[in-house]
A and B are shown apart, each in its own frame.
Chain A
């Protein structure tokens, strides 16, 4: 199975900050990576797919980059509604696997 490692596990930031979250795959996964946002009590929401493609309706302050084993989710200017947990997911091979999550908290 492909292991997905996210870092940091949590980050404290202020509104307006630039935040970056890293996801590393245990083997190369090309660009078959997605990022999801999950708020408490809610289902995950797809933000980024194919490593860098923005899902329809997602604000442009979210961006993704990377390929192979190393990926980054960047929020260019953190907004109050962005405080949530973020997960990466590899789609290169079954079983599909997720990163452990990164909680973005208010500083």
Chain B
């Protein structure tokens, strides 16, 4: 069974930084493309970005609102995905989900991690 567990959320002041981690087990993480998706309080889902497997180039792509501020990386030796968030703004608050990506769709999700940006 695939398990996805996020950690690292919390409260940060505007302009601050935070790093989220996502530990994955139960499948071949090193071959997987992984994503981050977020959800503002009471709102819909917003894709943040993707990282390909190293065998597929390991490249990343980001949504416009976070491009240049957020960085997705991975450590295949630890089966862990990361989201480094810099220059956080109040609009960045919400629940952040780590998801697996199988044939273009998000098939396994973590429980979500709350990020609060407030002074």
Contacts and interface: CB of A to CB of B under 8 A. Distances in A.
Contacts of B103: 49-50
B105 A91 contact: yes
A97 B44 CA distance: 10
Interface string A69-107: 000000000000000000101010011111111000000
A55 interface: yes
Contact of A43 (B44, B47, B110): B110
A89 B61 contact: no
Contacts, number: 51
Nearest to B35: A96
For chain B, which range describes its interface: under 10, 10 to 19, 20 to 34, or 35 or more residues? 10 to 19
Given A94-B61, A95-B63, A95-B64, A46 B106 contact: yes
B29 interface: no
Nearest to A34: B105
Contacts of A36: 45, 106
Contacts of B35: 96
Chain A interface category by residue count: 20 to 34
Contact of A45 (B109, B110, B112): B109
A99 B106 CA distance: 15
B112 A98 contact: no
A19 interface: no
B109 A43 contact: yes
Interface of A: 32, 34, 36, 43-46, 49-50, 55, 87, 89, 91, 94-101
21 contacts: A32-B104, A34-B105, A34-B106, A36-B45, A43-B112, A44-B97, A44-B109, A46-B106, A49-B107, A50-B105, A87-B45, A89-B45, A91-B104, A94-B50, A95-B47, A95-B61, A95-B63, A97-B47, A98-B47, A99-B44, A100-B44
Given A36-B106, A49-B105, A100-B44, 12 more contacts: A34-B106, A36-B45, A43-B111, A44-B45, A44-B109, A45-B109, A89-B106, A94-B50, A95-B63, A96-B35, A96-B50, A97-B47
